[in-house]
Amino acid sequence: MKIGEFSRLHHVSIDTVRFYVNEGLLVPIKDGYHYQFDQQCSTDFLNIMLLKEVGFSLQEIKFLILSEQISKYALSEQIDKYWGIFSKKHEEITASIDRLNRARNFIEEKLESFSSRPPARQTAMGISLSLLPLLACPHCQSHLLLQSNRIDMGMVITGEFTCPDCGYSLQVKDGILIADSTEEILNSYSSYDNFITEADPNLMLSILQNVKWMKPYLYQSPCKMKVILELGSGFGFFLRGTYEMIPDDALYIAVDCDIRRHLFLQKALQNCSCRKNIILICCNFENIPIKKNSVDQLIDFGATTDLAWCKKAFALELADAYTHPGTSCIFANRVYEKFHARSPVPPMLRQNLEEAAILSNITRLGYHIIKKERLDFLNQLQPSNQFMNMEDQVYRLMLYLQKEE
């Protein structure tokens, strides 16, 4: 039969047949410009497929097939050689079976643990009544009046705060304080499920490295730490990674303009076994409804970069009114070494993405740089929003700052 018929008979491509002919494993009869395949070719091909399925390498298959053919009626001379090859493969397969059995047992134990895990105990999360004196109108700093629809375990779950002097108001929905919310999402990950499914593993690694670098500087202010403010908390990578470290008598304010991320973060924190004083506020950095000069530690975990991508503004400057002499700041942001000619970042927005401008702004705001470190990405990050590409040169700038006393 010709090569086309032979390939159809064995359900493989013509290229596959030609490959084994060129390797010398199939020896058809050459009839002019065409190959003619006989029953021996079919037998040899089936042996090749069987040996391949068992796990023999191409070189091992070639030896077994060709030595069997060339040793016809003298196969006893090859028994010892065959015994060694098949014994070795038997040991390899036995080891693979053992490994796969261990792997299967591990997977089954994991599946069992997931199915038998008791439902997470979720605790109510809202605005603690004891923390209300910290809240203030962001425009005139007047004390906010509360009209509550629901208070649960000393926390405001739903309600409205209003300013008696200028009429400013904000809502409390599901325990989250909402001053401003925007549907204009910078990052392409509109849900945590999207992030886990789509995010570059190098991005996940850099997040974990950043949190690890920042941990030693948490809550180290010489004054007694009371109020911590995180700008742009997002999915709570930093807050969830350091939650147990928050002092019991401290208040942690997480600010983000995306209500969906706050809802995810709230649900995640409700699963924590220990209780911390957390307020989730949905607003822009310049409209945080708290008293001025009240923040003891500022967390900038990517806020400077995210803000600079969108507007000509510096995150720490927008939040500066909430700090005081002695306030410390932990800063971890992506910074640009060089913008490519085709960079998607508009030239008018690039200044606050460069180290020189960032350090100048920090000094102007009265911060001392206590610790500074540059962390390069191990691999280039895949773009995760409209302002990123593979050609801009980016690194991470890590700073621990302290305001002058």
**Which residues fall within 8 angstroms of residue 191, CB to CB, at 6 or more apart?**
260, 264
Cα end-to-end distance, the chain, whole Å: 93
- Overall CATH class of domain 127-403: alpha beta
- What is the predicted pLDDT for the residue at 37? 93
- Indicate the pairing of strand 227-231 with strand 176-178: unpaired
Separation CA 131–CA 225 (nearest Å): 15
pTM above 0.85, yes or no: no
Separation CA 332–CA 313 (nearest Å): 17
Q: Do the domains spanning 3-70 and 127-403 agree at the CATH topology level?
A: no
- What is the predicted pLDDT for the residue at 327? 93
Q: Measured on CA atoms in the order 182, 184, 186, 191, is the torsion positive or negative?
A: positive
Beta carbons of 151 and 296 less than 8 angstroms apart: no
Q: Which amino acid is at 109?
A: E
- For the chain, what are the domain ranges? 3-70, 127-403
Beta carbons of 241 and 264 less than 8 angstroms apart: no
- Indicate the pairing of strand 227-231 with strand 251-256: parallel
From the first residue on, what is the mean pLDDT of each consecutive set of 10 residues in the chain (405 residues)? Answer: 92 93 89 88 92 89 80 65 85 93 93 76 79 92 90 90 93 89 50 73 84 86 75 93 90 92 90 88 92 95 91 94 94 91 88 93 96 80 68 90 89
- Beta carbons within 10 angstroms of residue 117's beta carbon: 8
Separation CA 18–CA 15 (nearest Å): 5
For the domain with range 3-70, which CATH number is right: 1.10.1660.10, 3.10.105.10, 1.10.3720.10, 2.60.40.3140? 1.10.1660.10
- What is the predicted pLDDT for the residue at 177? 94
- What is the predicted pLDDT for the residue at 185? 43
Closest CA to 332 of 308, 363, 296, 305: 305
